[in-house]
Amino acid sequence: MNRLVAPSLLSADFGNLDKDIEMVNSSQADWFHLDIMDGVFVPNISFGFPVVAQVKRMAQKPLDVHLMIVDPDRYLEKFKEAGADVLTVHYEACNHLHRTLSQIRALGMKAGVSINPHTSVEVLNDILEEADLVLIMSVNPGFGGQKFIKNSIQKITRLKEMITQKGCKTLIEVDGGVDANNAAALYAAGADVLVAGNAVFKAENPTKAIEILKNA
Ligand code: DX5
Ligand code: ZN
């Protein structure tokens, strides 16, 4: 079982991004989580390639890039160039998910697929072997600081069963409303990677908040 923590920079201080990146570098965190929103797939716009490339220059840990955009195929190469190590697309945004995940791997990145709260994990049964990671959204994507949707725990449990049954090595990542109160239950259900925005960057001591999530 893995216990990886990926702080989401969406909640970081963009006026002092250097400082927050340094904090993550010197913390127990494992990855940087970067949320890309296009204002179409989700009702919010975040940041794009120049910001990802700038984070890459300073980050001493892998970049976990979460694409909340329509038609992600158009930009896979650009995100590789910007520095993505893990690239996750949404199931709901891909007509040819098998092709998209294969292309991400062919570009030398780990391939992730994410599902929204209303999407059943069962739809991933025929694609699990092509995915290095499944990202279960535990809030409706678009914003940080939302309330964790409890049904997500059952989805993790079921997905873990599916992965075990297939004997593949796909990681389970959870994103949205993750904090010190639910982290242990998420690991227990089978989560390998916890994403946390507000629980880290709005904490009084972000380094400590990461440590608590890592050791929950
Ligand atoms: C939401 C993003 C998340 C967000 C999580 O659409 O995908 O990564 O930053 O923020 P918290 O942890 O505050 O819910
Ligand atoms: Zn995210």
Atom of ligand 1 nearest to the CA of 11: 9
Phi, psi of 43 (to 5 degrees): -80, 50
Query: Domains in the chain, ordered, with CATH?
Result: 4-214 (3.20.20.70)
What integer pLDDT is reported at residue 1 of this predicted model? 75
Q: What angle do CA 153, 156, 162 make, to 5 degrees?
A: 145
pTM surpassing 0.95? yes
Q: If you compute the radius of gyration of the chain from its CA atoms, what whole number of angstroms results?
A: 16
What pLDDT is recorded for position 128? 97
Assess contact for 93 and 41: CB atoms under 8 A. yes
Is residue 62 within 8 A of residue 27, CB to CB? The reply is: no
Task: Summarize pLDDT for 46-82 with one digit per residue, the tens.
Answer: 999 999 999 999 999 999 999 999 999 999 999 999 9
**With b meaning 16 or more CB within 10 Å and e meaning fewer, what string describes 159-184?**
bbebbeeeeeebbbbbbbbbbeebbe
Contact 6, 214 (CB under 8 A): no
Three-class SS of residue 71?
coil
The closest ligand to the CA of 11 turns out to be: 1
Q: What is the pLDDT of residue 106?
A: 98
- From 31, 35, 116, give the residue whose CB has the most ligand 1 atoms within 8 Å, as the site to mutate: 35
| Residue ranges of the chain whose pLDDT lies below 50 | none
Q: Is 35 a catalytic residue?
A: yes
Model pLDDT for residues 130-156, shown as the tens digit of each residue = 999 999 999 999 999 999 999 999 999
Tokens of 183: 């982290």
